[in-house]
Structure 1
Amino acid sequence: MTYKFGMTALLATMAASGAMAQDANTLAIVVKGLDNPFFEQINLGCQQWMAENPDSQYNCLYTGPASSSDEAGEVQIVDDLIAAGVAAIAISPSNAPAMANRIRALAPDIPIMTIDADFLPADADLRATYLGTDNYLMGVQMAEQAMALKPEGGTICLQLGNVAAANINARAQGFRDTAGGAEGLDRLTGENGWTEIEGCPVFTNDQADLANQQMSDVFTANPDLDAFILIGGWAQFAPQAYAQVTDQVMDRLQSNALIIIAGDTLPPQTQAFREMRSHAQVGQRPFEMGLRAPDVMIQLLNGETVDDPLFTGLDVCTHAEPGFCADN
C-alpha cells in the first residue's frame, strides 16, 4: 500500500483500510520517493512480511512522497506518522541532516530506525539501528571493478543523487578512496591515474530523465572519456532512454574504451547489463530490507537488543562472472 503525503490524506487512507485502522499497530517504512523502482522492491518485501505474518498484531505500512526530489515532503510524512501515533518508523532519509533535525526537534517516544540510507554519524543517536547496504563498501566494490577494467586509470565521471543523501555520498567516498589509494579524497585528481573531469560529479536528484540527459551531455562533451560511474542506478531505471544514450557510445562500450559501472540490479538493469550497456553492476538487496524491517521494529518495541548496523549484503555482476544478472 502506498501513500503520497499530507496528514489528511494519510489518515483518510489509513482509516479506509481495516488493516491500517489501528495506528498503534502500524510499522511504517518511509522511503525517499514512490517514483523510484528501487523502493518498490522494499514495498514488495513489506507486503511479503504481511503475507507471512497474517496473525501478527502489527501491520507493515509502506509510504513516501510521490517524487524522490521532495525532501520536505518526506520530512512531513514522518512528522504526520509520529502525530498519528504509529508504533515505529523505518526511514530512508533523502536529506539526512534535515530529517535528523526534525526527529531531534520532535523527540518521539517510539522506535526510529533507518533503512537503505542512514543519518550522518553525528546524528546516529537519533535512531536505534540502520538496516541496509554497507554503502562505503558498495563504493569500494564499484571502484574495484573499474580498476580491474582500467588498471592504468583514466578520465572519469561520477553520477550521484541528492547532494545531502548520506548513503550515496558514502558510496562516492568508498569509490574515491579505493580508486585513488588514499582515504578522505574529495575528488580524484590523478591519483592512481584517475582524474574526474570538469563538470563532474553530476547530481541527478534521483530523477531518471535527468540522469540520462546528464550521461548524454557528458558523452558528447567528452568523446574520450574512460569511465562513467552510476553510483546509483537512476539512468537505468528508464530503460528506453538509457538504451538511446548508450547507443551513442556502443562501439566504445563493446571495446572497453569506455566502461560503465552501475549500482543496483533491478530487472531493467540486468537486461541492460546483458546487452553490454554496462560492464559491472553492484547490487543491493532492497527486498530483504523491506522484509526484515518489520521484524527489527518489533524487536525494538519489545525492548530487545538489536545490532547496529544490520547490513543486507551486495551482489556483484561482471561479464566474466555474471552470477545473479545472468537470468534475472
Structure 2
Amino acid sequence: MRIGLVVGAAAVALAGAVSGAAAKDVLAIVVKGLDNPFFEQVNLGCQKWMSENADSPYECLYTGPASSADEAGQVQVVEDLLNRPDVKAIAISPSNAPAMANMIRRVSPSIPVMTIDADFIESDRDLRTTYLGTDNFLMGVLMARHLMELKPDGGTVCLQLGNVAADNINARAAGFRDTIGGGEGVDRLDGSAGWTEIDACPVFTNDQIDLANQQMQDVFTANPDLDAFILVGGWAQFGPQAYAQVTDQVKDRLDAKDMIIVAGDTLPPQMDALKAGRSHAQVGQRPFEMGYRAPTVMIQLVDGETLNDVIFTGLDECTADNFDTCVAQ
C-alpha cells in the first residue's frame, strides 16, 4: 500500500488550498481511512481531475482519518472541513453513517454535502444532495448469483462484512441474502432456500486487513467443511501475502471448487488472487471513477444544478474465464 503517496497528496492539496494569492476554493472528498488501498484509487481519480482542470478556480482535496477504524476521527475531519471558509462542497464516504448524519444535522452546513462510495441510511438521506458510487444492493445480488452458479445445490456460507454501521456494506449483505435466500428482507440464511450461515458468522473486519485475514483463517480452521466464504469487501485480499497464506490451507478445496470464495472489488492484488485460483469471482466497484467524477458533481451542486438522487458508477464481474478483459478501463 502506498500510504505515503495518499497522505502526501492530501497534504499537497491542503497546502495549495491555503497558499497565498493562488489559493483556490476546495472540493473535499473524505474517505473512511487513508490506510485502505481501495480509497487510494479514489485519490488517483481526484488527482487526475486536478491535472485536467488546472485552470479551474477549484481544487480537489482528498483526506480522511489515518485509520479506517477511526469512525469518530472521520466525523471530526468532516466537521473541521465544514468550518473552513474555503471548502465549498464536500463528498463523504461515511464509516458510521448514523454518527456522521447526526453531526451533519447538528452543524446544518450551508454548503452542498454529498455522499460517495457509501451512503447515509435511508432516514438520513435528506441531509445529502446526491450519492455517487456503487449500487451496493446490486453488488450483493451479483455476488449471490456467482455463488449460486458455482454451487447450485447450496450449503454453508460465511459472510465477512466491514463496519457494523456502514450503509454500503449492509446493502451488499442485504442484496446477497435476499437473492440467495429467495425472498425480501432476509435477515439471516437459515437453510430454507438451501443456504445456511454458520453460527460464527458474519464476521466484521472494521476495514482492518490483518483482522480480515485472521478471521478467514479462524473460520476455515473451525469449519473444515464450509462451502462458501463471501468477502463482501476486499479487505483480506488487500494484504496479498497474508491472504495467500490463509488460502493455502484450503487451496485444494478451492481448486476442486469444493469451497467457493466470492469477493468484492478488483484492485490489482485481488486480480492476482483470482488468477491464482484463490477466489472464484470478483465483483468490482469503480473507485477511480468515483474520485474523478466527484469534483465535477460538486461543482454542479455549488452552481445550484439539480442532480439525480443517486449516480451509479457501475460494476465489473470478473471470473477465471474473463480476468484479462473484465475490468472497465
Aligned to 2:247: 246
Aligned to 1:231: 232
Identity %: 70
**Following the alignment from structure 1 to structure 2, what is the Cα–Cα distance between the partners of residues 16 and 150?**
49
Change (3 A) 1:118 1:103: same
Change (3 A) 1:327 1:83: closer
**Following the alignment from structure 1 to structure 2, what is the Cα–Cα distance between the partners of residues 307 and 205?**
31
- Between stretches 249-258 and 18-27, larger displacement belongs to 18-27
Aligned to 1:284: 285
Taking structure 1 as the reference length, the TM-score comes to 0.94
Question: What does 1:17-96 align with in structure 2 at a 5 Å threshold?
Answer: 17-21=15-19, 25-85=25-85, 86-96=87-97
Per-residue Cα deviation, 1:155-177 (whole angstroms, up to 9, x for no partner): 00000000000000000000000
CA contact (8 A) 1:189 1:195 kept: yes
CA contact (8 A) 1:188 1:195 kept: yes
User: Where does structure 2 lack aligned partners over 5 or more consecutive residues?
Assistant: none
User: Where does structure 1 lack aligned partners over 5 or more consecutive residues?
Assistant: 5-9
Per-residue Cα deviation, 1:3-57 (whole angstroms, up to 9, x for no partner): 59xxxxx9xx579723554887100000000000000000000000000101000
The alignment status of 1:267 with 2:265, answered yes or no, reads no
CA displacement at 1:307 relative to structure 2:
1.1
Taking structure 2 as the reference length, the TM-score comes to 0.94
Aligned to 2:302: 301
**Following the alignment from structure 1 to structure 2, what is the Cα–Cα distance between the partners of residues 49 and 191?**
49
CA displacement at 1:308 relative to structure 2:
1.5
Question: What does 1:130-141 align with in structure 2 at a 5 Å threshold?
Answer: 130-141=131-142
CA displacement at 1:324 relative to structure 2:
3.6
**Following the alignment from structure 1 to structure 2, what is the Cα–Cα distance between the partners of residues 23 and 111?**
20
CA displacement at 1:192 relative to structure 2:
1.9
**Following the alignment from structure 1 to structure 2, what is the Cα–Cα distance between the partners of residues 110 and 2?**
25
**Following the alignment from structure 2 to structure 1, what is the Cα–Cα distance between the partners of residues 185 and 291?**
32
Question: What does 1:171-190 align with in structure 2 at a 5 Å threshold?
Answer: 171-190=172-191
Change (3 A) 1:55 1:204: same
Per-residue Cα deviation, 1:56-109 (whole angstroms, up to 9, x for no partner): 000000000000000000000000001112110000000000000000000000
Change (3 A) 1:54 1:16: closer
CA displacement at 1:305 relative to structure 2:
1.3
CA displacement at 1:318 relative to structure 2:
1.4
CA displacement at 1:323 relative to structure 2:
4.9
CA contact (8 A) 2:34 2:66 kept: yes
- Paired residue total: 321
**Following the alignment from structure 2 to structure 1, what is the Cα–Cα distance between the partners of residues 109 and 89?**
10
Per-residue Cα deviation, 1:248-279 (whole angstroms, up to 9, x for no partner): 00000000000000000000000000000000
CA contact (8 A) 1:24 1:87 kept: no
CA contact (8 A) 1:20 1:59 kept: no
**Following the alignment from structure 1 to structure 2, what is the Cα–Cα distance between the partners of residues 17 and 115?**
24
CA contact (8 A) 2:263 2:282 kept: yes
Change (3 A) 1:221 1:118: same
Measured on the aligned residues, the alpha-carbon RMSD in Å equals 1.9
CA contact (8 A) 1:179 1:191 kept: no
Aligned to 1:217: 218
